[in-house]
């Protein structure tokens, strides 16, 4: 596009922050990440840090596992449900 490509590995906070800011109190944001070289732990830390920095701390952050038949070992797909305070 006119603003370039989104680097999901490094630009995830800029993708997650607007969703957090638009979410109602006690609402939930569902987020996904498909970059295999990003670990679930590192991604979880990025989501939590982004929420803290934008003033929307999370009351819960659940990382869901894809179904057993999803390709990859470990699968590249990561799914999170973040509950906003």
pTM: 0.89
Percent of the chain residues topping a pLDDT of 70? 99
DSSP conformational letter for 43: H
How many other C-beta atoms are found inside a 10 Å radius of the C-beta of residue 56? 21
69 vs 82, which has greater pLDDT? 82
Q: Is the pLDDT of residue 30 over 90?
A: yes
How many other C-beta atoms are found inside a 10 Å radius of the C-beta of residue 50? 21
pLDDT in tens, 43-70: 999 999 999 999 999 999 999 999 988 8
pLDDT band with cut points at 50, 70 and 90 for residue 9 = confident
Average pLDDT, the chain: 92
């Amino acid at each position: 596009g006119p603003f370039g490509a989104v680097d999901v590995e490094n630009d995830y906070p800029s993708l997650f922050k607007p969703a957090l800011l638009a979410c109602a109190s006690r609402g939930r944001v569902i987020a996904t990440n498909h970059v295999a070289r990003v670990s679930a732990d590192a991604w979880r830390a990025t989501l939590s840090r982004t929420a803290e920095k934008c003033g929307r701390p999370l009351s819960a952050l659940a990382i869901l596992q894809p179904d057993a038949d999803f390709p990859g070992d470990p699968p590249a797909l990561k799914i999170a449900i973040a509950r906003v305070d």
